[in-house]
């Protein structure tokens, strides 16, 4: 089957990740933010695929449906808190250069990636907290 490249990529990602929602019963908010980050706007399709998979295995009990409904509700709440499916960092590379004296290069990239990971844990971090976090890194 032929399809546009962006659709093919999305379908491949959904197929690769199709088992992930099955293990989400007691998942943390950080885990859900990671799931959202990884699947972006396809997070709902992933859960729909998991629900279809459960039905295909003839697992149609109310407990399973309630589990997925609860996950969807939690994700909706998290997305509302984040203001979308992507966590916007409170600082940029320019802030690192201007405020902390960073130079463009691998250290800056490592710092920004570490910050992105920390934002999965603390998504409402402000600029000052982010700068303190970066200062505390051993780069």
Q: What is the pLDDT of residue 60?
A: 65
Per residue in 74-133, pLDDT (tens digit) is 999 999 988 888 888 999 999 999 999 999 899 999 999 999 999 999 988 999 999 999
Q: How far apart are CA 52 and CA 59, in angstroms?
A: 10
Q: Which residues lie below 8 Å from residue 79, measured CB to CB, with a gap of 6+? A: 36, 85
Q: Which pLDDT tens digit goes with each residue over 26-62?
A: 899 999 999 999 998 899 999 999 888 887 776 667 7
Cα–Cα dist 76/29, whole Å: 12
């Amino acid at each position: 089957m032929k399809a546009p490249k962006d659709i093919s990529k999305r379908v491949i990602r959904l197929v690769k990740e199709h088992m992930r929602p099955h293990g989400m019963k007691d998942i943390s908010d950080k885990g859900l933010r990671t799931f959202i980050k990884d699947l972006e706007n396809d997070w709902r399709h992933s859960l729909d695929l998991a629900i279809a998979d459960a039905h295909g295995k003839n697992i149609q009990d109310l407990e399973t449906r309630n589990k997925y409904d609860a996950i969807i509700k939690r994700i909706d709440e998290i997305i509302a808190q984040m203001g979308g499916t992507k966590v916007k960092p409170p600082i940029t590379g320019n802030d690192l250069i201007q405020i902390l004296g960073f130079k463009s290069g691998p250290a800056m990239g490592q710092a920004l990636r570490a910050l992105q990971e920390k934002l999965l844990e603390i998504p409402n971090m402000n600029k000052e907290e982010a700068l303190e976090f970066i200062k505390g890194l051993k780069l």
